[in-house]
Amino acid sequence: MPDPDVLIIGAGMGGGASAYALTQRGLTVQLLDAGPAFNPDTDYRLNDPNWEAERFPQKPGSQGKYSYGKAQLLDQRWQHLRSHSHLYGFLNKDNTRKFNAYNHVRGIGGSTLHFTGEAHRLNPASMQMLSQYGVAADWPVRYEELLPFYRQAEVQIGVAGLTRNNEPCPQPAHLPSYADQTLGKGMEQLGLNWTPNSLAVLSQPHQGRPPCNYCAGCNFGCPRRDKGSADQTFVPAALATGKCEIRPGLQVLHLVAGKGDQIDHVITADPAGNQHKLRASRYVLAAGAVESPRLLLHSELGNESGEVGRNFMETLSFATLGLHPEPLGSHRGLPSGYICWDFNAPDAIPGVIGGCRLSPVTVEAGFFGASIYASRVIGGWGKAHKQAMRSSCGNVLGIGGIGDFLPNPDTFIDLDPSTTDQHGTPLARINSHLSEQDIRRIDFIAKKNREILQAAGVESIFEQYGSYDFFNSTHVAGTCRMGINPDISVVNSDLRHHRWKNLYIADASVFPSIGGGESPALTIAALALRMGAAFTN
């Protein structure tokens, strides 16, 4: 293939949607990813005897390496927010926060390969955090400007359910599972709204993909291809144009500057360590909120604004799990079929800026197989253990909240000064710190979780865990913020780099704020589609 018009670095949600948008405009594209391609027919083996032991399958190159900064001290005042199990006590025995691994899969499809499939539009109020609430930064794009691209993404993916503001999605909502209905009774008692979630999970056939069978395995990789991961939606549509070439297993090591503030070429390495030079007219960086700043910082392209790597936003979360007296069959169904948006607005939580949302976590917490009951709920051995297993399996009911995370100077990505990967590139170092506001938001979620579970009939809470004492990497954003002013942002509203004229960034790193618990993937896709629409041939 001759040099493409556009070379895209990273084939996750941002890279996949960019490939789709650009090929639709007639541009030729090379889509590179450091990780491998996954085949749902052969790689996602939910019918294997040991399916519970391994979550998402690992393949050579599908795991990155990361390092972590200094861990924050825990505070006696917030002891009740520590992750705790009735069998093991505190899950983090230290007096500092712990960094669990940054577990995003590398591969064609990126983190969407193992995402839950929530497909949310941002609350418009969360896009004006600086002008309205004096925190974070405003988006340089208005919600109304993004709306047509949200709709385009929802159609292409086949999103089902209701949007955050109760508009019907292109596909009808999934029916609630019995466990979702049980949580719904608790919500109703407390006067809270419980609505179908908007999900990248088909409820009807769409573009040759069948509807969901409610096996609950979304985080293990969807074997039916109905979950709208980027490899099943945007990437095949880009390939169908005949203008897209996919190159798995190619890690970009450097962006190399040329004349006139243009990127001249990139250096890549294949799994054997062979290096290649690749060239295109334009480059789209879509390696995610941790790897994109790593690549920019390592490439020494200058960081005039000082903003590359800053404003990292992690996932603020808290989950609470209890046993319900009734058999609920909670091991089946969609992980996050229903949602409560009542506290999502930036001013919805009393005394705190930044909202949250609440949704079921039973399946995401791992309770969709028997072995997890044996190790996390029942404990013990012998006859009593067997009896308890028989009477409890399927009875776990969990609810969790995800909340806003406000950027702060101590939460950022930089390069590890002493550790490199197999190609000699410094690792991305994740530095994380929770502010008092963040902790108070977690506190609010923890209280609501307990109230809801109690109202839903749960008699005993056996576990709680959250990001007060464990760093949570599920939704990450920031680090290459978009904005109008080049002194305090990295890309403009069309995602073009303020200095490097043929470089664009189209992933979670461009978010100026992260919202009150909205999942980011649909917004990443909408931004990438909008960027593509602004490209000239």
Ligand X SMILES: Cc1cc2nc3c(=O)[nH]c(=O)nc-3n(C[C@H](O)[C@H](O)[C@H](O)COP(=O)(O)OP(=O)(O)OC[C@H]3O[C@@H](n4cnc5c(N)ncnc54)[C@H](O)[C@@H]3O)c2cc1C
Among the residue ranges 100-108, 165-173, 298-306, 342-350, the one whose residues contact ligand X (CB under 6 A): 100-108
Among the residue ranges 233-241, 406-414, 478-486, 514-522, the one whose residues contact ligand X (CB under 6 A): 514-522
What distance in Å separates the CA atoms of residue 64 and residue 508, rounded to the nearest whole number? 17
Tell me the closest approach of the beta carbon of residue 392 to ligand X, in angstroms. Answer: 26
Tell me the closest approach of the beta carbon of residue 158 to ligand SF4, in angstroms. Answer: 11
Q: Please, what's the b/e burial string for 427-438 (b: 16 or more CB within 10 A of its CB; e: otherwise)?
A: bbbbbbbbeebb
Q: Coil, strand or helix: which one is 458?
A: coil
Contacts of 121 (CB under 8 A, 6+ apart): 146, 147, 150, 163, 164, 165, 198, 518, 522, 523, 526
Among the residue ranges 70-78, 214-222, 246-254, 372-380, the one whose residues contact ligand SF4 (CB under 6 A): 214-222
Closest to 266 in 3D by CA, of 247, 288, 241, 239: 247
Among 125, 192, 201, 285, binds ligand SF4 (CB under 6 A): 201
Q: Coil, strand or helix: which one is 54?
A: coil
What distance in Å separates the CA atoms of residue 510 and residue 139, rounded to the nearest whole number? 10
Binding string, residues 14-33; x marks residues near ligand X by CB under 6 A: xx----------------xx
Tell me the closest approach of the beta carbon of residue 236 to ligand X, in angstroms. Answer: 16
Among the residue ranges 70-78, 102-110, 162-170, 391-399, the one whose residues contact ligand X (CB under 6 A): 102-110
Q: Which of positions 267-286 make contact with ligand X (CB under 6 A)?
A: 286
Beta strand pairing call for 316-323 and 6-9: unpaired
Q: Does 6 bind ligand X (CB under 6 A)?
A: no
Q: Which helix (H) or strand (E) holds 405?
A: none
What distance in Å separates the CA atoms of residue 430 and residue 102, rounded to the nearest whole number? 9
Tell me the closest approach of the beta carbon of residue 201 to ligand X, in angstroms. Answer: 10
Among 192, 521, 526, 529, binds ligand X (CB under 6 A): 521
Q: Coil, strand or helix: which one is 512?
A: coil
What distance in Å separates the CA atoms of residue 152 and residue 156, rounded to the nearest whole number? 6
Tell me the closest approach of the beta carbon of residue 73 to ligand X, in angstroms. Answer: 27
Q: Which is nearer to ligand SF4, 105 or 445 (CB)?
A: 105
In the block, residue with structure tokens 């030079």: 277
Q: In what order do the strands lie in the sheet with 263-269?
A: 251-257, 263-269, 275-278
Q: Which of positions 234-273 make contact with ligand X (CB under 6 A)?
A: 251-252
Q: Does 433 bind ligand X (CB under 6 A)?
A: no
Among the residue ranges 379-387, 440-448, 452-460, 516-524, the one whose residues contact ligand X (CB under 6 A): 516-524
Residue 8 CA, chain-centre distance (Å), reads 20
Among 82, 84, 97, 104, binds ligand X (CB under 6 A): 104
215 binds, among ligand SF4, ligand X, none (CB under 5 to 8 A by kind): ligand SF4
Q: How big is the CA angle at 282 (ends 279 and 283), to the nearest 5 degrees?
A: 80
Q: Does 13 bind ligand X (CB under 6 A)?
A: yes
What distance in Å separates the CA atoms of residue 411 and residue 312, rounded to the nearest whole number? 6
201 binds, among ligand X, ligand SF4, none (CB under 5 to 8 A by kind): ligand SF4
Q: Which of positions 453-482 make contact with ligand X (CB under 6 A)?
A: 474-475
Q: Please, what's the b/e burial string for 324-340 (b: 16 or more CB within 10 A of its CB; e: otherwise)?
A: beeebebbbbbbbbbbb
Among 108, 216, 263, 503, binds ligand SF4 (CB under 6 A): 216
Among 82, 84, 114, 224, binds ligand SF4 (CB under 6 A): 224
Could you tell me if residue 311 is left (phi over 0), alpha (psi between -120 and 50 degrees) or otherwise beta?
A: left
Tell me the closest approach of the beta carbon of residue 403 to ligand X, in angstroms. Answer: 15
Contacts of 151 (CB under 8 A, 6+ apart): none
Q: Does 357 bind ligand X (CB under 6 A)?
A: no
Q: Which of positions 331-390 make contact with ligand SF4 (CB under 6 A)?
A: 334
Can you read off the two tokens belonging to residue 218? 């979304």
Among the residue ranges 37-45, 98-106, 442-450, 484-492, the one whose residues contact ligand X (CB under 6 A): 98-106
Q: Which is nearer to ligand X, 201 or 349 (CB)?
A: 201
Q: Coil, strand or helix: which one is 269?
A: strand
Q: Does 288 bind ligand X (CB under 6 A)?
A: yes
Tell me the closest approach of the beta carbon of residue 39 to ligand SF4, in angstroms. Answer: 15
Among 190, 215, 267, 372, binds ligand SF4 (CB under 6 A): 215
How many residues bind ligand X, per CB under 6 A? 41
Residue 23 CA, chain-centre distance (Å), reads 25
Contacts of 333 (CB under 8 A, 6+ apart): 177, 178, 179, 180, 214, 216, 363
Q: Does 114 bind ligand SF4 (CB under 6 A)?
A: no
Q: Coil, strand or helix: which one is 324?
A: coil
Q: Does 230 bind ligand SF4 (CB under 6 A)?
A: no
11 binds, among ligand X, ligand SF4, none (CB under 5 to 8 A by kind): ligand X
Contact 482, 307 (CB under 8 A): no
Closest to 312 in 3D by CA, of 476, 435, 473: 476
Q: In the complex, which residues of this chain contact ligand X (CB under 6 A)?
A: 9-15, 32-35, 103-104, 106-107, 110-112, 114-118, 219, 251-252, 286-289, 291, 295, 474-475, 507-508, 519-522, 524
Applying CB under 6 A, the residues found at the interface with ligand SF4 are 201, 212-218, 222, 224, 226-227, 334
